[in-house]
Structure 1
């Protein structure tokens, strides 16, 4: 007999899955623009590749998390990659997560400056304080919060994307010509690499959190369904926003936050609402990443977790003062390369399980 599946719990898991991935790079449009839109119409290839990889590896990781995550000594990196490679990931990934927090803080500063004319440093400081408070509140409360934030971001992103797309369908007729007239940063290099790297950097940085997220499921099928639904919704949003970006590429390719420009062009009120949604999206990735880094260090037993969190938050704030666009283009592809190795390890681990 199949286990009963709680649809609301599936939605919460899917929402938390999406919210973790939808950070400053995604919600501002920079991530979509650099990984997908920069490839023009070939971005469809990138999106399809990312969808397949997200569904397969997302459901695989969260399934293993449900089976073994409750054991204190379980290490997802060692489980999939072996002791030596797993140990490398176990200590190096928190460094990458710290860099990701830096990117989120930088994105918050850019958002508040571009829309509210708030001092960039003040915006960075506000997001730093929020992620510090979230860590103090604990993981369970964090999952509940971002599980709600994820679906809200999806709804508003789709709303903005569809409106802009339908208003500018003419802009899709000469995409090939338009792409030759703009200078876009390519985070992946080509459409195939972009699709792989986008998924791999999200998976490698999310392994700790997705493992913990699995514990909120009542059964394995519920956990897998949550990851699958989350992956599908995520890529649908990317598909819509990608075409919206392509339709107005000449107007937005120089902007730090093109999605906010879209929302403001539709309605000043929608712009204000979307700016809040955008900040929630930044928080939804920064907070679990920050929690993972602090938890990893404080679990060693030698340091007070609140002191560790305070020191790390100060370091993240200082790092967040660097230009946002440059952080996205340099940091994410590097993380993606390490994610490809993780994908290979996971794939062969699954094959070995079936053979045995």
Structure 2
């Protein structure tokens, strides 16, 4: 029956939804620190705003993916934004996704260097090779793989966040004064702007993937609830990790990978396990983004897809050698601005012809 709901399917879609969002910026804590923690206690406002936007727009996009994703004529950006704006997004978003892959490669290099003392360039090369290999397996198999990674990251992140927060509750007492003493890089600006930009940059870059995800659902409700559950869980993790970061802000504000510092402080073994989970989180965003970019380039079938994939991976590796923190600071807010325009188009489309 098309109206029946399979809880396991919902969790699989929620997991894939989460895993796409949890890339190197999120899993390392750098993204949370720049978008949320940098606003101190007002970060709670940012989190609530992002939660609302994720649930609403995630549901709309994945529901539309279920309804229309099978049609060869369905082009999500044009469907939501019209021919002119939609055409701009179709050509520009793959560039943003490519930049995202660059950030993921850089994050992998930083992670392997900080924990395993591995040469930064070697770490970047390893992630590049992994995403290149993943391209040959296709999106359907990727959904199954990263659908498993998502919940795993949520569980480990919650364990780390709760443990650190409980041990350091006193660190929140004078947090307003402490925030004036440390200098945190802000990727989004004030608490309202940060909340909007965080959700918008994730959704604008993920529209193709979330459309495919919704199209793979057995029922419309599974697609919709997958987005709702995924959005709720991702923001729960951000809430816990954000306050954990605030509680130890003096110790971690200069670190590239604060979450790994937290994990190692629990135990060396847990730190090692978390480092592997973190790398899986980076891969879970890099792989589908890389596949989308390569698929867009080879859409006309004029070029050999494997040759194009190798070329794209080489360029991504070279650009991924730039400092990780700077990439997060400069790339994500720009993407978020384009996401706000997309949000406006989706909202107007939803009003004119109800999607959900």
Q: Under a length normalisation based on structure 1, what TM-score does the superposition of the two structures give? A: 0.99
Aligned to 1:120: 120
| Corresponding position: 1:56 with 2:56 | yes
> Quick one: distance in 1 between partners of 2:214 and 2:307?
28
> Quick one: distance in 1 between partners of 2:50 and 2:183?
24
* Residue deviations 1:284-313 (CA, integer Å, cap 9, x gap): 000000000001111122111111111000
* Residue deviations 1:54-86 (CA, integer Å, cap 9, x gap): 000000000001100001121100000000000
Aligned to 1:317: 317
Aligned to 1:30: 30
Aligned to 1:9: 9
RMSD value, Cα: 1.0
* Residue deviations 1:127-152 (CA, integer Å, cap 9, x gap): 00000011111111111000000000
| Corresponding position: 1:329 with 2:329 | yes
More divergent stretch after superposition (74-83 vs 301-310): 301-310
Aligned to 2:342: 342
> Quick one: distance in 2 between partners of 1:71 and 1:2?
19
> Quick one: distance in 1 between partners of 2:16 and 2:206?
11
Indicate the SS of the match to 2:353.
helix
Query: Measured at CA, do residues 115 and 303 of structure 1 come closer, stay the same or move farther in structure 2, by a change above 3 Å?
Result: same
Aligned to 2:196: 196
Alignment of 1:218-229 (within 5 A): 218-229=218-229
Aligned to 1:262: 262
> Quick one: distance in 2 between partners of 1:126 and 1:2?
42
> Quick one: distance in 1 between partners of 2:261 and 2:235?
21
Aligned to 1:107: 107
Aligned to 2:84: 84
Query: Measured at CA, do residues 2 and 209 of structure 1 come closer, stay the same or move farther in structure 2, by a change above 3 Å?
Result: closer
Q: Under a length normalisation based on structure 2, what TM-score does the superposition of the two structures give? A: 0.99
* Residue deviations 1:25-60 (CA, integer Å, cap 9, x gap): 000000000000000000000000000000000000
Which segments of 5 or more consecutive residues in structure 1 lack a partner in the other structure?
none
Aligned to 1:20: 20
> Quick one: distance in 1 between partners of 2:107 and 2:53?
26
Contact 2:67-2:220 within 8 A present in 1 as well: yes
User: How many correspondences in the alignment?
Assistant: 355
Aligned to 2:271: 271
Alignment of 1:297-308 (within 5 A): 297-308=297-308
The 4+ residue runs of structure 1 with deviation greater than 3 A are: none
Aligned to 1:208: 208
Alignment of 1:59-208 (within 5 A): 59-208=59-208
Aligned to 1:248: 248
> Quick one: distance in 2 between partners of 1:216 and 1:148?
16
More divergent stretch after superposition (296-305 vs 163-172): 296-305
Indicate the SS of the match to 2:8.
helix
Indicate the SS of the match to 1:137.
coil
